[in-house]
Amino acid sequence: MKIIRYLALAVLPLMFFSCDNFEENEYIVYPQGETNETTPITKNQTSQAVLLEDYTGWKCVNCPAAAALLTELQSKYGESLVTMSVHASSFASPSKANNNLDFRTEYGEKWNNEFGLSGYPVGVINRLNNGASASKAVQKDDWDNKIESILSSTEHLMNLNLGAEKQSEDFLVSVQCAVLKNIDFRTLISVVVLEDGIVGVQLNSDASNPQINDYVFNHVLRTNGIIDYSLFASATANQTIQKNYKINIDPSWNTDNCKILVFVTNADNGEVIQSNEIKIK
């Protein structure tokens, strides 16, 4: 029988192994997280981008219109707009009516609760507070103006150059953080999997078609990921910081339709300062 041993990276230096410890048909599998393996950088970033998180669910009758708007905005802003669809709350709870398809994730629920979101569809843009209030919720009719405002006013501090490849059980992601200006605050990095082209049931506000049985879900946040890992405590202009990560592949994913989203946040206020995405090759 093939035996898979999981070794925690944090305790690995405290443990000693010899080749005699393992039989010929045994091998070691490391948990997902930071790794020394690299993959070539194939997507270079040259401009500021904005991250739009669309909080949604299959029970949300107004969400198809928001998804259509999101597609329009992607056409308008190109690579300056990075999008993620987060299925969360009771709007996304599965049932027989949607063939028990469940897109909820642990951290999607966490973000939904932390941001105090309700009344889907609703967006969060660069995780900024909306106006003078503490709320991060941006209604879909305000998405375009908010994105335009952020792009015109945000200081361009870094670029995220990316590489990604599929291995047998993991996605390997390399990130080159090219710092453009001095940064004197702590930063965190998140690396998550998004999946396009998932067909399922979606409720709809159109009385002539109240339930779409072949609805196509895109930019869907998936279950595995690297969330809020430390990137750096401070950085200087022209410095390049490379990080490499492995993310376990869930057998339910269509890896041909997967892409990797990387975003960096200010650790002190949680605001997104840069984001980028790359299709899995």
Domain CATH code at residue 117: 3.40.30.10
d(CA 32, CA 121): 32
216: in domain: yes
Mean pLDDT (the chain) is 90
Peptide bond into 121 cis (omega under 30): yes
CA angle, 276 then 146 then 56, to 5°: 70
CB 177 within 8 A of CB 45: no
Residue 29 confidence (pLDDT) above 60:
no
192: in domain: yes
Strands (E) across the chain are located at: 4-6, 27-29, 33-34, 50-56, 81-87, 122-125, 158-166, 170-179, 187-195, 198-203, 211-217, 220-232, 240-248, 258-266, 272-279
Residue 14 confidence (pLDDT) above 50:
no
4: in domain: no
Q: Would strands 27-29 and 4-6 be described as parallel, antiparallel, or unpaired?
A: parallel
200: in domain: yes
pLDDT tens digits for range 229-279: 999 999 999 999 999 999 999 999 999 999 999 999 999 999 999 999 999
Residue 108 tokens read as: 């999607």
Q: Would strands 240-248 and 170-179 be described as parallel, antiparallel, or unpaired?
A: antiparallel
Residue 91 tokens read as: 């709007």
7: in domain: no
Predicted confidence at residue 31, as pLDDT, reads 58
Q: Which range, of 11-20, 113-122, 239-248, 256-265, averages the lowest pLDDT?
A: 11-20
Total domains in the chain come to 1
11: in domain: no
Q: Which residues pair with 216 in a beta bridge?
A: 199
d(CA 127, CA 119): 18
35: in domain: no
Of the candidates 103, 107, 105, the residue with the CA atom closest to the CA atom of residue 94: 103
Predicted confidence at residue 97, as pLDDT, reads 96
214: in domain: yes
Q: Which domain holds residue 105?
A: 50-155+188-232+256-279
Handedness of CA 143, 67, 265, 49 (dihedral sign): negative
Helices (H) and strands (E) in the chain, counts: 3, 15
Amino acid at 217: F
Residue 27 confidence (pLDDT) above 70:
no
Residue ranges of alpha helices (H) inside 23-95 are 63-77
